[in-house]
Chains A and B, each alone.
Chain A
Amino acid sequence: MVSKNCLSDRADSRGCATEVLVELFLLDKGDFANSIDGTWLEALFMDGVMDGVAVGVVSAASRLPSHKHAIAELFQVEGVDLTEEIISRLGVDEVPLCNGESGSDLAVAAAREALERAGIAGSEVNVVVDYTILPQEYMVPVWNMSGKVQHEVGAESAFTIGFSGGGSSNFLVALNFAAAMLAADEKMKNALLVAADVTIPGNRVLNPSAPVSVLGDGASAVVLQRGATAHCVLDTELCSDGSNHDVYCIPGGCLANPEDPSLYRLVLDKARYDAAPKTETLLRLAQRVLDRASLGLEDIKRVVYTNVSAEDQAAFQQTFGLGPERMCTSNLAGHGHLQGTDLVLNYLSTLEDSSLLPGDPVLICSHGMGFMAGVSLIEV
């Protein structure tokens, strides 16, 4: 029998020395089959322990690049005419832009801030959930920045998970699954949700022929906790329209079109986007959520929505019959559209409203560019 140190040395020097590593493994911890504790442990996963367990947002944070560009300059750089009509329709003055920062660095900073605000150490995080929607430093899904975030915040005991598609609604997808995991698994206490969206260079004006939005760069993070006593996630409704699966996508730079650099940009099929019943679908989902909570739309104190454009926000307010005082629109002008981070920014701004009282219901809504509609109900 060789010693453990000897085996370690051999493994280091010979790389993929499978046999040596098996020896090392067996020496170090003994026999797997005999090491399992045979006592009956509660079957936590499937026994309905989730009934009555509250999951709430205990903190949130955003991290935006300090560098900002006026949209007049961005339109000029991208060769798009900027008219008064477009300025009015978009409602965006300037957007934050990365100037050397990487998306994952912003995400790590946002995650650290959210954890600090929650008073939680990285080691207490059970799952890191990525809701980024734009391309990351390397190609997703082979690579995902959630691993880097896990490492950088010291969440050694966590596993990572990330979601794709659905524009800003990807945040609500992540929220829904993370809340379900925390509710279903007694061993899990804290989830760290995180995203960083960095726009493809030269691709900030969405749909240049008839601009729909202006995209900025930014990151955000949210800490969800099992057993929270405030800001509880009560319910979520999600609905996707498969016929619009590619209404908002990057058609090049992947298997379908690997050759053409001009296709490596975020495009919106405006005809399908315009035709999609975006706010009407959201109203339908909101009514379902409210019915289950025995609430009416009039009971909702505030609504959190995305910053696609002033025109889009106005359409939403009209469909929902909301006065401007019930929805945060103040982040649009200075940030533009930051994908799922819009919802975190606007949620944080909504919480600053002193007229909001503990227990007040808040809706978070996103149409996911006509593909994925989502509504979450939170009791602050």
Chain B
Amino acid sequence: MNATIGILDAAYYLPPKRKLLADIFRDEKPQDDPLAANVDFKRDIGIEAVHVAEEPASSVALQACRRVVEQAQIDPRDIDVIVDFTSIPEDYIAPTWCAAGLVQKELGATRAFATAINTGGCASYQQTLKSVCSLMSTNDRFNLALLFAGDKVPEFNHNYYPVTVVCDGGGAVLLKKNHPRRVILSVEVATLGKLYDVWRVPGFPHRDPDHPEDHSWMHVVGDIPRFNSEVIPANLFMFRKVMRGALQRVGKKAADVQYYIYPTFSSWDQRAFCRAFMIPLEKVYTDGLGRHGHLQETDMVLDYVDAMNEGHIRDGDLVMLTTNGAGFSWGAALIQH
């Protein structure tokens, strides 16, 4: 069995409405505490504005899915599996519901089965790649897969102090078996389960019934002291673990990697990643940070597409897509162009 699985196409959708960072800070009033002696969250984050969806999260996802189907010129009836990897709350409550069935219906992907991967936070893309590539590798019946995510944060929850400011948008990727370009060589994922309660959204049962207008139960809540004392110190080590794992699986070295796709959290985070791994900043796609900020798991799709379109990735390049995510998980995927 030939288990060469490649990225047939990838696309994203950003809603047209934009909101300036200054307006987000005005409306949401993030903390003023300095993160470190030389880092100020508001001043140094490096984000100018984010996109804000006025349509449902599933519509954002669907727009991205339609784009990738159109770009790839495939018949949706040929899709064998559809996986939603959205990592923030969707239109209806998960895990009871996911948007994959809706996308299946709207695209007319009648042959597929539709499900969602609901773990990993922003690393859910790598988890999904690993799962779907395994399924396609072990099963002759799975040849074409649609992976997608659609993110719409609740109003007044764009600021994820002390990490980033988030944007709405959707991304979609088509994986095809026996596709010789953009081949997924390996995927590595790791989770630190002890951090399971550091980052969460409380949910409807935790609302204040006396204040129904208060939707903060839908907002992310971080245990900042534990984030600082447990997540941050582990972060680079976990990045190294998954990147090294992905490289070792295929006998590659870090020096073989021509380009990195890394989350657009903040300027200081991007710099720290580059410095820790001795990667020149020009080998990491950072241009999107200022334009749109962070798109959760969709960073991995959006930044990958933009990096290709802007000529940062060339034929023959080995590309590392790596990220961390709430939960907390880390993921790394190696793509051979």
Q: CB within 8 Å of B: which residues of A?
A: 11-12, 14-22, 24-26, 28-29, 31-33, 35-41, 43-48, 50-51, 128, 130, 132-136, 138-152, 155-156, 158-166, 170, 173, 176-177, 179-181, 183-185, 187, 238-246, 248-256, 258-259, 261, 264, 266, 371-372
Contact = CB atoms under 8 A, between A and B. Distances in A.
Given A32-B254, A46-B185, A181-B131, A37 B102 contact: no
Contacts of A176: 135
A165 B95 contact: yes
Given A22-B272, A161-B131, A133 B229 contact: no
A184 B232 CA distance: 32
Contacts of B215: 258
B212 A16 contact: no
A138 B203 CA distance: 6
Contacts of A240: 100-101, 104, 112-115
B94 interface: yes
B257 to A, nearest CB: 9
Contacts of B39: 16, 18
Interface of B: 1-5, 35-39, 56-57, 84, 86-106, 109-110, 112-121, 124, 127, 130-131, 133-135, 137-139, 152, 154, 162, 184-187, 189-197, 199-206, 209, 212, 215, 218, 220, 224-225, 227-229, 232-233, 235-237, 240, 243-244, 247-255, 268-269, 271-272, 275-278, 326-329
Contacts of A261: 204, 209, 212
A246 B101 contact: yes
Contact of A180 (B139, B235, B236): B139
Contacts of B38: 19
Contact of B87 (A36, A142, A245): A142
Nearest to A371: B101
Nearest to B224: A15
Give 9 nearest A-B pairs by CB, closest first.
A245-B101, A150-B193, A242-B105, A147-B196, A253-B204, A242-B104, A15-B228, A141-B118, A151-B193
Contacts of B95: 130, 132-136, 140-141, 162-165, 170
B193 A148 contact: yes
Contacts of A26: 276
30 contacts: A15-B35, A18-B39, A18-B269, A28-B237, A33-B254, A33-B255, A36-B254, A41-B248, A43-B186, A45-B187, A46-B250, A48-B2, A141-B87, A142-B326, A143-B197, A143-B200, A145-B196, A147-B195, A147-B328, A151-B196, A160-B120, A164-B116, A184-B3, A184-B134, A252-B204, A253-B203, A254-B92, A255-B89, A258-B154, A261-B209
Given A46-B3, A242-B105, A165 B131 contact: no
Given A16-B232, A256-B92, A264 B131 contact: no
A37 B248 contact: yes
Contacts of A24: 233
Contact of A18 (B4, B96, B254, B268): B268
Max chain B Cβ within 10 angstroms of own Cβ: one of A141, A238, A264: A141
Q: Which of B190, B195, B243, B269 has the most CB of A within 10 A?
A: B190
A158 B191 contact: yes
Given A43-B251, A183-B134, A249 B92 contact: yes
A185 to B, nearest CB: 7
Contact of A141 (B114, B124, B186, B205): B124
A51 to B, nearest CB: 6
A134 B113 CA distance: 20
A81 B133 CA distance: 50
Given A46-B250, A151-B196, A159-B127, 9 more contacts: A15-B232, A18-B269, A46-B133, A141-B88, A147-B192, A150-B196, A161-B127, A165-B116, A242-B110
B96 A165 contact: yes
A45 to B, nearest CB: 5
A163 B113 CA distance: 13
B201 A138 contact: yes
A104 to B, nearest CB: 9
A184 B133 contact: yes
